[in-house]
Amino acid sequence: MTIDDAGHYSPQQRAEIIAAYPEHEREARAKGIPVLGSGRIFPVPEEMIACEPFKLPRWWPRIGALDFGWDHPSAAVELAWDTEADVVRLATVANIDVDTGGLLVIDGVQTEVGDRILVKDQTDGSENGIRTVSAGQWFRAADARTARTMQYGTTVTVQEGSANGGKTFRFNTLDPVIGDDPISIVEYPLGGTAPAVARDYIDAPVYVADRAALAALDTSRDKVALIWNEGGRNGVFVFDASNQAVNVTNDPQQGVLVAPSSDATGASGAWRRIDLVSSTSAAGAVSPLWFGVTLDGADSTAAFSAFLDFLVYTGIAGELPAGTITLGSKITKNIGSAGLALGGQGEDISILLWTSADGGLNITSTHATGKVQWSRQVELHHFSIKTSRASGGTALSHTISPVSASSTSIMFDYHDLSIQGLDVDADHWDNGIVVTDGWNGTIERCSIKGIAGDNLSPFEMNDAIKLVRCNDCHVSKVHAYHCEVGIHSTSDTSSYGDGLTIEDCRIVGVSTGILSDGSVVNAWMGICNTHINASVKGINLTNLYYTPISENLIYKTHVSTQDNWSGIFMLGPGFNILTGNTISTPGAPAGVTNFGIVLSGVGNNIVDGNLFNNTTGGFYCIYELSGTTKNTIINNIADGTIDAIVGGDGTATQSTVRNNKPITNLTTVTSGDATPSVASLIDNILVTTNTGATSITTFDDGVNQQLLELHVADANTTLVNGATLALLGAQNTSPPNGAILVFRKISTVWTEIGRSYPVGNLIIGSYTKAPQSKLHGYDAANTLRILTRLENDNGASGTAAIGFEVTNSGTETRSAKAGLGLTRNSSNGRGQLGVFVRTTNDGADFDINDLKSGWNVTGIFHSFMGTTVASASTIVPTGNLFHVSGTTNIATIDGTGIVAGTTIRMIFDGILTVTAGSNLKMAGNFTTSASDMLVMTWDGTNWYEEGRSANA
């Protein structure tokens, strides 16, 4: 494409450029680019920018460079095109069949192929426009196919025709969607001729005072109107000629749609508010003021109800204005599966005020199966719900049907709401928010308050939040004050009440902070990081599994005189985790008994790392009641104000209790109990307090591998060895006061693994035989064989004071029968360390003949002297030193059983010859005389001579 020397495009080139870039106009309009003068802002086409030298035609003056975010650099220009389309040959005078087409006669003139015809009288107004004659279907002319080329105000001149020849017509529809929207084409005056009706030709909206005046307008002439005298109902309206009967029916208050007086049904069209919607979709929120709601204190119930109906019908969000809307009675809405979204300008800025004794908003809905899980069916936010009455009903009630199902969407989302009385010292709602059969709902950052002056139960407001058979709901950052129950979950249907999460809430000045009182078992109610100040119970849970309760701060209301107050109370079934909670009763009047955590009828719970402090009255940190079993209570800490960190009624079974501080109440055995329970021992310790002779035969209620320390705190206890109580040495024992015995349960048997006695003799085995020494160990399985003995008392001279492996103690008097012993002097206690070997298996004590080796009192080492050996060809040594009698020559010495390295000394009593050879390695034969000595050492094979002496 070229530009002439004058910098101009030809008209045909201009038309081609305009036709080539309609998308730029749409994009510019979508971006809100303003209209300047008689034209519009357009980007300069890229091929024009690339021209060298770059020139713009005079009809397209450049006004500066801007970046509108397109992919290529562009320049902004003001396109001052003509608002007159090219001329047409003829204009229709009646409806024609454009689809069949053909060479028709139009306005008395035979058409020819290629004629441009202004089609303006179609029954289906969307077919109007400029079309080209052909033998078949008539298509729209190439320069009249877009909204821009048939824009409101564009004119076209007719060349021929008996009725329309010489006339000019104007396109009279704003931004038509070609092929969808009806296109209005009206006659336009020529040559300054005054119109018969001036409104037909004034390009400006009509200003009317109210809806009645709007309905009375002549819609054949007026298409845009402004209501200016109805306050909050004012607005800009356009006439939509399509059938609006259904929409008009659903807007009886004329908030958005006003039917003309000529057809009040809306079937022939209606005035539609355009400050809310465009021609195809919503452009903003709906205001209740459009429906006749006022902020002057008058009852707006009917208008507000119609406003909600319209929100439900259209699915468009509603927006409350700043100010108070007064409502004289409860509003009940069954919205089905439709959505309802309503927001305000902020709590205590946008206010709904009910003045009836039974007020509030009551919504019923059904599951929106077409919505995904994270969509909201009902969303209310950022406004206040107030009552001017004492006992005002339920502020917000929502019932969903059928009963909850996991495939449904998030059916409600209530956030940033304030619910309270108008006069906080006198007015109150009976309940705040009540949801029945909900699933995946959220209540967040809501503030709900009863009468401010309430200090003690019963409070005037019942439940701040109540969830009935609600699953997987989330309550977060809610503030609840001065009510019977802060957050209440209940269910009568199993698995319909699972998964409630409560986090980061503040519940102050209530009877019970959080209550779950379902009649059936449900699972998982997570409660964390919540501050509760309650007069009766902080958290009260019934029939819950798998519930974590963590990091909560729970106080007893400072004015509460409640007895048996509990921070957390759990009644069946179990598998819950209570950890990191802080519970105290600061400044509260003392009841007879107060509790931190109470477990009743529950099992397999973990109570770990909780803190109890600043308590008053009788205070038990953790208390186990009937039916409680297999709980793990560990690592809990309390200050000095408590009475006991762990307590109970004595019926709990098989709990593990350890590492709780301080320990103030170890478990004690009931006096006379022969089978004491060890089900819930504190730190695995059981204390005996028997006032009379008591024989303990086993321990009851223990679990496999349980460890038990038995602290004997009396002198009347005997433990009896048996099938389920295995004592050391398999002997009964009567430990002294202060003794500690340690047991481990292995399968069904309590096995003693250690004992410690603080004073007196320690006997390992049985006290049925009197102790003979300070340490005495018996092996009853081997005829009372003494394993170990230690004594320091003075007995007969030469007795052993320490001994091991005594053969038999059945006839023991006081002497140890040991392999290693200390002999002593009966007068001064001195003696020698010796090794005793007694070969005779009898009941006699060791004597000096059994002393085989050792050191005497002066430290001289001695070895064993054997019995005299008769000379023979082969002799057998009897000790390290022995005499050889007789005169028979010796050829070998037996080494059987002798350890290599052993040295023997033989003293000869007569004359004989010891012959070198065989296993005797000697410096020649040795012929002895009486008193001669031969010294030999055994290497495991041979005897080697170390020396010989002639001592005669």
pLDDT at 808 over 70: no
The predicted structure's pLDDT at residue 402: 73
Cα distance between residue 630 and residue 406, in whole Å: 33
* Residue 832 pLDDT grade (very low, low, confident, very high; cuts 50, 70, 90): low
pLDDT mean over 601-623: 93
- Are the beta carbons of 607 and 572 closer than 8 angstroms? no
Cα distance between residue 439 and residue 405, in whole Å: 7
Which residue(s) pair with 353 in the sheet? 326, 386
The predicted structure's pLDDT at residue 487: 98
| CA distance to 130, 154, 155, 259, 269, per residue, from 182 (Å) | 14, 16, 17, 18, 12
The predicted structure's pLDDT at residue 547: 94
pLDDT at 774 over 60: no
The predicted structure's pLDDT at residue 312: 93
CB within 8 A of 936, min separation 6: which ones?
893, 903, 904, 906, 920, 943, 944, 945, 946
pLDDT mean over 729-756: 92
The predicted structure's pLDDT at residue 439: 85
Cα distance between residue 916 and residue 826, in whole Å: 50
The predicted structure's pLDDT at residue 313: 93
Tokens 């004050």 -> residue: 481
Higher pLDDT, 30 or 866: 866
Instruction: Pull the structure tokens for residue 419.
Output: 């619910």
Chain centroid to Cα 952, Å, comes to 104
Tokens 């920018």 -> residue: 49
Q: φ and ψ at 417, to 5 degrees?
A: -110, 150
Least confident interval from 54-63, 151-160, 557-566, 793-802: 54-63
Least confident interval from 185-199, 364-378, 525-539, 679-693: 185-199
The predicted structure's pLDDT at residue 819: 54
Give per-residue pLDDT as tens, 327-352.
999 999 999 888 899 999 999 999 99
Higher pLDDT, 90 or 34: 90
* Residue 822 pLDDT grade (very low, low, confident, very high; cuts 50, 70, 90): low
Higher pLDDT, 494 or 409: 494
CB within 8 A of 2, min separation 6: which ones?
none
Within 10 A of 281 (CB to CB), how many other CB atoms are there? 7
The predicted structure's pLDDT at residue 759: 54
Tokens 């022969």 -> residue: 674
- Are the beta carbons of 424 and 393 closer than 8 angstroms? no
Higher pLDDT, 755 or 891: 891
Give per-residue pLDDT as tens, 181-200.
999 999 887 544 555 555 65
Strands 39-43 and 76-79: antiparallel
The predicted structure's pLDDT at residue 865: 86
pLDDT at 67 over 80: no
pLDDT mean over 657-668: 87
Is pTM, for the whole model, over 0.85?
no
pLDDT at 696 over 60: yes
The predicted structure's pLDDT at residue 863: 80
- Are the beta carbons of 171 and 154 closer than 8 angstroms? yes
Query: Order of strands across the sheet with 129-132?
Result: 90-91, 116-119, 129-132, 139-140
pLDDT at 817 over 50: no
Which residue(s) pair with 709 in the sheet? 685, 742
Which of 905, 949, 904 minimizes the C-alpha distance to 929? 949
> For the residues of 322-385, what is the DSSP string, one character each?
SEEEEESS-EEEEEET--EEEE-SSTTTEEEEE-STTEEEEEEEE--TTS-TT-EEEEEEEEEE
Q: φ and ψ at 803, to 5 degrees?
A: -155, 155
28-43 burial, b at 16+ Cβ within 10 Å, e below that, comes to beeeebeeeeebbbbb
Tokens 């009937």 -> residue: 626
Higher pLDDT, 80 or 165: 165
pLDDT mean over 873-884: 94
- Are the beta carbons of 659 and 635 closer than 8 angstroms? yes
Give per-residue pLDDT as tens, 260-309.
999 999 999 999 998 664 334 444 789 999 999 999 999 999 999 999 99
pLDDT at 855 over 80: no
- Are the beta carbons of 536 and 510 closer than 8 angstroms? no
Give per-residue pLDDT as tens, 920-950.
999 999 999 999 999 999 999 999 999 999 8
Within 10 A of 702 (CB to CB), how many other CB atoms are there? 22
- Are the beta carbons of 599 and 628 closer than 8 angstroms? yes
> Which one-letter amino acid corresponds to residue 303?
A
Give per-residue pLDDT as tens, 117-135.
999 999 999 999 999 999 9
| CA distance to 293, 348, 610, 921, per residue, from 290 (Å) | 7, 22, 56, 133
The predicted structure's pLDDT at residue 655: 87
pLDDT at 528 over 60: yes
Cα distance between residue 456 and residue 463, in whole Å: 15
Which residue(s) pair with 396 in the sheet? 361, 433
> For the residues of 410-423, what is the DSSP string, one character each?
EEEEEEEEEEEESS
- Are the beta carbons of 783 and 810 closer than 8 angstroms? yes
Cα distance between residue 799 and residue 816, in whole Å: 7
Which of 465, 378, 382 minimizes the C-alpha distance to 429? 465
Which of 268, 213, 210, 265 minimizes the C-alpha distance to 239? 268
Strands 577-579 and 606-608: parallel
Higher pLDDT, 24 or 726: 726
Higher pLDDT, 631 or 833: 631
CB within 8 A of 50, min separation 6: which ones?
none
Cα distance between residue 369 and residue 407, in whole Å: 8
pLDDT at 909 over 70: yes
Which of 348, 488, 484 minimizes the C-alpha distance to 416? 348
Query: Order of strands across the sheet with 725-726?
Result: 667-668, 685-688, 707-712, 740-746, 749-756, 725-726
Instruction: Pull the structure tokens for residue 132.
Output: 């080209």
- Taking each helix axis as running N to C, give the angle between helix 22-30 and helix 11-20, from 0 to 180 degrees, rounded to the nearest 10: 50
Give per-residue pLDDT as tens, 1-36.
444 444 444 555 544 544 444 444 444 434 443 333
The predicted structure's pLDDT at residue 663: 83
Give per-residue pLDDT as tens, 247-273.
999 999 999 999 999 999 999 999 999
Q: φ and ψ at 395, to 5 degrees?
A: -60, -50
Cα distance between residue 443 and residue 78, in whole Å: 53
- Are the beta carbons of 442 and 473 closer than 8 angstroms? yes
Tokens 């080329």 -> residue: 149
**What is the chain's mean pLDDT, rounded?**
82
- Are the beta carbons of 578 and 568 closer than 8 angstroms? yes
Helix, strand and coil in the chain, % to nearest 5: 10, 40, 55
* Residue 589 pLDDT grade (very low, low, confident, very high; cuts 50, 70, 90): confident
Instruction: Pull the structure tokens for residue 588.
Output: 């509260």
Instruction: Give the CB-side neighbour count of residue 317, counting CA atoms within 13 A.
Output: 13
Instruction: Pull the structure tokens for residue 345.
Output: 């300008």
pLDDT at 221 over 70: yes
